[in-house]
């Protein structure tokens, strides 16, 4: 869906020919802004010119652009959604012949979930409850604050809604998500657990509950929640990776490898974290060649500072040295 709106500003002879901007917001299907989505600006030959990540509200911006044809590509690596690319043309006009104008181009994205993923299953979640008006009003006010990036101010309203109606799924789930995103798993777990007891078909709720339990060292409970989430979204890379991490915490590296390889299979582009986890599994099981290959793939597919790249290269060399000591044969993968 191509949605481009341009504000053309007529300029004088002193106009800046590099003043145009392409900006927008990356949304999910429910118009929630998506944070940390990688967005690339490409020229008409598909060469990357700039890249950025969306902020807490899903916004991105590319400045200093000349007239021309561009592609903007949104790549939601941390979400179970399809990437999307849109064509944008900057063609300005100016009051002075030969001078460049300025334009502010808005290109929003509405990403769709991949089939079988957590995002696809979550899009089908519909919870019908007869909610008291007082609780509903508080929840609606809390949502307005959250959309303004004021989640902390929303907490008392959500707590008030739950005081009016303790079984309120959306209030429990939303409050649990706020605490989860603050890494406050001790407070997130009870809210998410209550939400999952009210409605057990929300994969995101079960995923966050499982991760919270894992951080709190309740590993069997973590696996139960994550497996329930995986049943609802079997092709979710995030859920498979979380299961792999939990198995690693319990020392079951065979099951950890199985889940992490599933996560890699379903990921559009394996994250650095996923490839590092696989390297650790291979290290623990003394398959140092594969550990080195996993980290080499991480460096090839990611952007890292010189310092971090140097550390990873050192780890790769250490793995290769151990592989030689163990007389390992090169991996055929």
Which residues 6+ apart lie within 8 Å of 231 measured at CB? none
HSE-CB at 183 with a 13 A cutoff on CA atoms is 0
CB 234 within 8 A of CB 224: no
Is residue 332 situated within a structural domain? Answer: no
Q: What is the mean pLDDT of residues 68-78?
A: 90
What pLDDT is recorded for position 318?
94
In this model, does residue 1 exceed pLDDT 50? no
Higher pLDDT pick, 95 / 209: 209
Same-domain pairing of 157 and 132: yes
Instruction: Give the C-alpha separation, 141 to 178, whole Å.
Output: 15
What pLDDT is recorded for position 18?
58
Is residue 55 situated within a structural domain? Answer: yes
In this model, does residue 2 exceed pLDDT 50? no
* Token pair 């009003």: residue: 137
What pLDDT is recorded for position 80?
75
* Confidence grade of residue 109 (pLDDT, cut at 50, 70, 90): very high
DSSP state of 329: P
Q: Give the bridge partners for 41, in sequence order.
A: 50, 72
SS3 127: coil
Could you give the residue ranges of the DSSP H alpha helices within 235-301? 237-249, 253-266, 272-284, 288-301
281 CB neighbour count, 10 Å cutoff:
24
Instruction: Give the C-alpha separation, 159 to 149, whole Å.
Output: 18
* Confidence grade of residue 3 (pLDDT, cut at 50, 70, 90): very low
Same-domain pairing of 298 and 164: yes
Same-domain pairing of 229 and 169: yes
**pLDDT tens readout for residues 129-184:** 999 999 999 999 999 998 888 999 999 999 999 999 999 999 999 999 999 999 99
Higher pLDDT pick, 192 / 57: 192
SS3 131: coil
Mean pLDDT over the full length of the chain: 88
Percentage of the residues of the chain whose pLDDT score is greater than 90 = 65
Same-domain pairing of 98 and 159: no
What pLDDT is recorded for position 99?
54
DSSP state of 97: T
Structure tokens that stand for 186 in this block:
């001790």
* Confidence grade of residue 226 (pLDDT, cut at 50, 70, 90): very high
Q: Which domain holds residue 71?
A: 4-112
What pLDDT is recorded for position 279?
96
294, burial (CB in 10 Å: exposed 0-12, middle 13-18, buried 19+) = buried
Is residue 330 situated within a structural domain? Answer: no
Same-domain pairing of 320 and 213: yes
152, burial (CB in 10 Å: exposed 0-12, middle 13-18, buried 19+) = exposed
CATH of the domain at 321: 1.25.40.10
* Weakest-pLDDT range from 61-75, 120-134, 192-206, 232-246: 120-134
Look at the chain and report how many structural domains it folds into: 2
**pLDDT tens readout for residues 260-315:** 999 999 887 788 899 999 999 999 999 999 999 999 999 987 777 888 889 999 99
HSE-CB at 287 with a 13 A cutoff on CA atoms is 18
Residues 322, 323, 328, 333, Cα dihedral to 10°: 150
What pLDDT is recorded for position 92?
80
CATH of the domain at 40: 2.60.40.10
């Amino acid at each position: 869906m191509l949605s481009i709106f341009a504000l053309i500003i007529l300029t004088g002879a002193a106009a800046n020919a590099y003043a145009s901007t392409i900006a927008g917001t990356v949304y999910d299907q429910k118009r929630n802004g998506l944070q940390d989505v990688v967005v690339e600006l490409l020229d008409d030959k598909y060469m990357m010119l700039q890249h950025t990540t969306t902020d807490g509200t899903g916004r991105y911006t590319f400045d200093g652009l000349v007239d021309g044809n561009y592609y903007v590509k949104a790549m939601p690596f941390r979400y179970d959604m399809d990437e999307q690319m849109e064509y944008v043309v900057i063609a300005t006009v100016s009051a002075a012949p030969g001078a460049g104008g300025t334009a502010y181009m808005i290109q929003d994205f509405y990403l769709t979930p991949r089939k079988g993923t957590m995002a696809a299953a979550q899009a089908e979640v519909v919870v019908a409850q007869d909610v008291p008006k007082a609780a509903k009003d508080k929840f609606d006010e809390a949502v307005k604050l959250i959309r303004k990036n004021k989640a902390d101010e929303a907490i008392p309203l959500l707590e008030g809604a739950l005081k009016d109606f303790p079984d309120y799924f959306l209030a429990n789930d939303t409050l649990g998500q706020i605490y989860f995103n603050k890494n406050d798993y001790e407070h997130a777990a009870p809210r998410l657990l209550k939400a999952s007891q009210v409605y057990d078909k929300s994969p995101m709720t079960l995923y966050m509950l499982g991760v919270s339990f894992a951080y709190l060292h309740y590993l069997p409970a973590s696996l139960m929640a994550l497996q329930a989430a995986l049943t609802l979204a079997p092709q979710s890379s995030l859920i498979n990776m979380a299961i792999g991490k939990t198995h690693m915490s319990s020392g079951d590296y065979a099951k950890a490898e199985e889940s992490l390889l599933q996560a890699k299979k379903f990921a559009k582009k394996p994250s650095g974290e996923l490839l590092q986890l696989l390297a650790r599994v291979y290290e623990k099981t003394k398959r140092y060649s594969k550990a080195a290959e996993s980290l080499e793939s991480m460096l090839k597919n990611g952007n890292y500072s010189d310092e971090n790249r140097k550390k990873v290269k050192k780890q790769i060399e250490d793995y290769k040295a151990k592989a030689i000591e163990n007389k390992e044969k090169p991996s055929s993968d």
